Chain A
Amino acid sequence: MFRRIAHRLSRISFPQLLTLLCVLAVFIIALVLPLRSLLIKAFLDKSGEFAGFANYIKYFRTPSLSVSVWNTADISLVSSLFSVCFGFLYAYALTRTRIPIKAFFRYAALIPIFIPSIVHALALVYLFGKQGIVTGLGFQIELYGRLGIIISEFIYTFPQVFLLFYVALEFADGRIYEAAESMGVPAVKIFFRVTVPEIKYTVVNAFFVCFTLAFTDFGAPKVIGGSYNVLATDIYKQVAGQFNMNMGAVVSTLLLLPAVASFAVGRLINNRNSGTISAKSTILAIKKNPLRDAVFFAVCASIAVLFLTLIAALFIGALTTYYPYDLSFTLKHFSFNPSSGGIESYFNSLRMSALTAAFGTAFVFVYAYMLEKSSGLARLKKLGKLLSALPLALPGMVIGLSFIFFFNSKTNPLNFIYGTMAILVLSNIVHYFSVPYITAVSALKKLDREFESVSESMGVPRRKTFLRVSVPMSMPAILEIFMYYFVNSMVTVSAVVFLYSAKLKIASIAISHMEESGDIAQAAAMSLLILVINVLVRLLYEASVRCVKKRMKKKGKTHEQN
C-alpha cells in the first residue's frame, strides 16, 4: 500500500507538484488572503473590535449612504438594457446582413476598450459639457449625474456585449435556415424560432456582464457623476476622504452582489447550454435585402460615429490652444504638469503594463497548463479550478481595497511591496486573470492529451514538452493573453487607485487628477497617448497572430490524401 502511494507520488513528479503548489500559493496570497482581510474588516468597528452586522445596519440606516445602492442599480440596469440592445443589433448587422465596410465597423466597435473609462466621460464633457461642441450647437442635456453616467457606461460596456454577440452569431448553421426557408417560413418567424433560441443564453450572459461592469465602474462616475452617488465612488470617498476603512469594506462587499447573482444564473444556464454547430454545418448564405441592410447600416453608423466623435473630441481638446475659444494648433498640452504625475506617469504605466503582460501571461499559461495537463494531484487541481473563477467575481475596487488591508498591515512580511510596482502588477494580474485563463484553457484543450504521455514514456521531461510543444502550439492564445493584459493594464483605474504611491503615479490616475485640477486639455493629451500605444499593441498583436497562423498553416498546407 505504501509503495503504491509512493508510486503515485513518483508519477506526479516533484517539479510538477512544486510548480502547482507555487501557482496556487501566488493565488492564495494575492487573492484569497486579501479578500479575507477585506471581509473581516467589514465586520469590525473602528477600534478593531468585532461589530457583527453593526456596520451594515448603520449603512442602511443612513439614507445618504444607502441611496447609492439604488442609484447604482438604476444606472446599471438602464445602461445594460441599451448596451444589450445595440450590441446585439450591431453584431447582427456584422454577421447576418450585407452592409458594406464591415471591417471598419468591427474595429470601430472596439474603440472604447483602448481608453480608460474616465476618458469616455471626459470625451462626453467635451461634447455635451457646458462648453461642449454639441452644446454649442444649441443641443443641451443634463450631462452631470444620472444621464452622463448612463451614457458613459453604455460606451464602456458596448464592446464587451458586441463581442459576446459577435461570437454567438458568427457561426450559423446554414442548413437550418435553408430548411426553414424551403418550407416557406416567413423571415420574422425564422428570426424568433431559430435565431433567438440560438442566442438566448448570450443575451442573459451579456446582460449580466454589462450590469456587473457598470455596477462596479469607478472612472465614469468619478468624472461625470456630479452629486449622483454610486457605490464605487462611495468606497473611494469613505477610504480616501474619510479614512473610514470599515465602511469602505462594507460598501465593497455590496459591490460583489451582481457578480454573485450572475454566478448563480451562469451556473443554471451553462448546464443547459449545448452547441448545435456540427462539423457538417454549412455556412449561412445571406440573402439580399436592401431595406434591412439600410436600417442596420444606420444603426451601426450612428454608433461608430458616436465613438469616432469621442475620439475626435479628444484630439480637438488635446491639440488646440484653449478650446473652445482659441482653436489654433498646439502641442503644449503634452508637456504635463509634474504635480499630476507628468509624463513620468505615462512611462510608469507602460512599464506596469509590460510587466503585467509578461508575468501575467506566464502565470496564466503555467496555471492553465498545470490544471489541464499535469498527472494526478486531483485535489489540488480541483482547488485550482475553484480559485480560477474567483477573479471574475471581483471588481477592481474590491481587489484594490483588499490589497491595502492585507499588504499594508504592519504584521505582513510582504509589507515591503506596498507602494511599489510589484503590488500594481500583482493586482492587475489577479484582476484580469479570468478571461486569459479561459483563453489558455481552451487553447490547451485542443492539444492531444497524449502528447504528455508520449513524452513521459520516452523519458522526455515535462518541462521540455511544455516548452517545445505546448507553448509553440498555443502561440496565438499566448499573444492574445499578452495583448489583453497589456491593454487592460493601460486603462485600469479601479484597482490601482488605492495602490499607486505619490512616487509612482500612473497615466490613468494622472488623467483623473488633471481633470480634477481643471487641466482638461492635458487629460485629453494623456488619453491620446494611451490610445495610441494600445492601438499599436493591438495592431502588433494582429500582425503577429497572422504571421504565426501562416507559419502553422504552411506546415499543414498540402494535407494530402488524409
Chain B
Amino acid sequence: MSFLEIKNITKRFDRQTVLDAVNLNIERGELVCVLGPSGCGKTTLLRIVAGLETADSGSVFMNGKDCTYMSAAKRNFGIVFQSYALFPNMTVLGNILFGLGRKKNLSEEDARLRAPEVLRLVDLYEHKDKYPRQLSGGQQQRTALARAIALSPDCLLLDEPLSALDAKVRSKLRGEIRKIQHALGVTTIMVTHDQEEALTMADRIVVMNNAVVEQIGTPREIYNHPATPFAANFIGTMNFYNHYGETRAIRPEKIEVVGRTESYDFTMRVKSLEFKGALTGIYGLLPDMGEILVDVSSEQAEALGLRENATIFLRMPPECLIKYSATEV
C-alpha cells in the first residue's frame, strides 16, 4: 500500500477534459515530479490532491484511507503555489504565524517556537521582519516553502516552485529544496515543466501530456527507456527515424562517430555544427531518413577536424536503439 494513491481521477471544465483517468501511487518520503507541457492539467491534479478542487470521478487514498471527500483543512497538506501567494501586508514571520495559529494541538507558545525553527531551516531568519516585496524572488520562494512546512504537513505540494526565478537561483534552490525535503522526510509532489529540474530532483517522474499520464518511472528509466515518443521528445533530445516501417529513436549522444575503416551503419554529410561547451552538436541529413543530431564531446569534434559538408560515419549501438510502432508517432 502506497502512502498516497490517486485512482482514476477525471476532471472536466466545461467540455474540456483536463484530467483523464489519472492513476498515481506515491510512496512515503519520496519526491515525485509531475512533468508536462503548459496546460496539460498539472495544477489541477495538485489542487485535487490538496482538496481545493473536486474531481468528477475517481478517488484519493491517504495511508489507505479514502480522503476523496475530506476538506482541504483536514488533509494537512502544505502547498506552495506558482505565484507563492504570500500575504503582502504581513512580514515573513507574520505569513508563517498566520496558518500556525490555527493548528489544533499546537499552543500559541509552540507556534512562536515553530516559526523561527522553520525560518532557520530555509535560512531566512534574519529576514523575518521584512515584507514580501522587500525580498528577492528566491527569498519569496523560500518564505512560501517555510509557510507550507511550518504546519508539519504529511505531504508537500509544490506547483512550479522555481519557474519564476532566473537560472542561477533556480539551480541553487533545486539543491536546497531537495535538502530540506530529505531532512524532513516529507512526501513531496512537485509540478514542473522544466525537464532538467525533474531529472535532477525527482525520485520518480510522472510525465503528463494532454490530461493523461504518459509514463511513470525513475529519471534514469524515463531518460533511457521513454515509453512513448512524447516522453522521449519532452525529456532530453531524441532523434527519430524510419526503419522499414518501424520508428526508431536514439539519443544524440549515443550515436558514435567512427572512422571510415571501422564498422558503421550510416554515412552523413555535415550540415552545420553547434558548439555547446562540453559537447558539440552535429546536424546532418541521413539519406531517406530526415534530419539527425549527433552530440560528440568537443575534444573529439576537434580531433576529427569536422567542417561543414564533410562526410562522417555513424554507428548506432543496437542496445541504445528504442523502437516504437509507427502508429505511436
Contacts and interface: CB of A to CB of B under 8 A. Distances in A.
Contacts of A451: 85, 87
A-side interface size class:
20 to 34
Interface string A525-562: 00000000000000000000000000010011111111
Contact of B134 (A7, A11, A458, A557): A557
B16 interface: no
A10 B71 contact: yes
Interface in B69-118: 69, 71-75, 77-79, 81-83, 85, 87-90, 98-99, 101-103
Contacts of B83: 448, 450
Interface in B40-84: 47, 50-52, 54, 56-57, 68-69, 71-75, 77-79, 81-83
Contacts of A453: 47, 50, 52, 72, 79, 81, 85
A89 B254 CA distance: 72
Contact of B102 (A458, A555, A558): A458
A562 B98 contact: no
Contacts of B85: 448, 450-451, 453-454
B134 A555 contact: yes
Nearest to B139: A560
B-side interface size class:
35 or more
Given A4-B54, A556-B133, A473 B89 contact: yes
Nearest to B74: A459
Contact of A11 (B71, B130, B136, B137): B71
A457 B151 CA distance: 10
B131 interface: yes
B134 A469 contact: no
Nearest to B66: A3
A456 interface: yes
A461 B50 CA distance: 16
Contact of A456 (B52, B68, B101, B130): B52
Given A451-B87, A454-B85, A559 B99 contact: no
B135 interface: yes
A494 B102 CA distance: 49
A8 B75 CA distance: 16
Interface string A443-463: 000001011011111111100
Nearest to B95: A454
B89 A457 contact: no
A386 interface: no
A459 B81 contact: no
Question: Counting chain A CB atoms within 10 Å of each CB, which of B83, B98, B132 scores highest?
Answer: B98
A189 interface: no
A365 B241 CA distance: 61
Contacts of A450: 81-83, 85
A557 B81 CA distance: 24
A454 B50 CA distance: 10
A128 B272 CA distance: 87
B133 A559 contact: yes
Given A456-B72, A459-B99, A555-B134, A472 B89 contact: yes
A8 B89 contact: no
A555 B89 contact: yes
A559 B137 CA distance: 10
Interface in A461-503: 461, 464, 468-469, 472-473
Contacts of B79: 453-454, 457
Contacts of A552: 88-89
A6 interface: yes
Question: Counting chain A CB atoms within 10 Å of each CB, which of B56, B88, B101, B137 scores highest?
Answer: B88
Contacts of B90: 468-469
A16 to B, nearest CB: 12
A4 B10 CA distance: 13
Given A459-B99, A459-B102, A560-B135, A469 B69 contact: no
Given A11-B71, A457-B73, A473-B88, A555 B131 contact: yes
Given A4-B57, A459-B74, A460-B99, 4 more contacts: A448-B85, A453-B52, A457-B52, A472-B89
The 7 tightest CB contacts between A and B, nearest first, are A556-B133, A458-B99, A459-B73, A450-B85, A555-B131, A7-B69, A450-B81
9 contacts: A4-B56, A4-B57, A454-B79, A458-B147, A459-B74, A459-B99, A559-B133, A560-B136, A562-B137
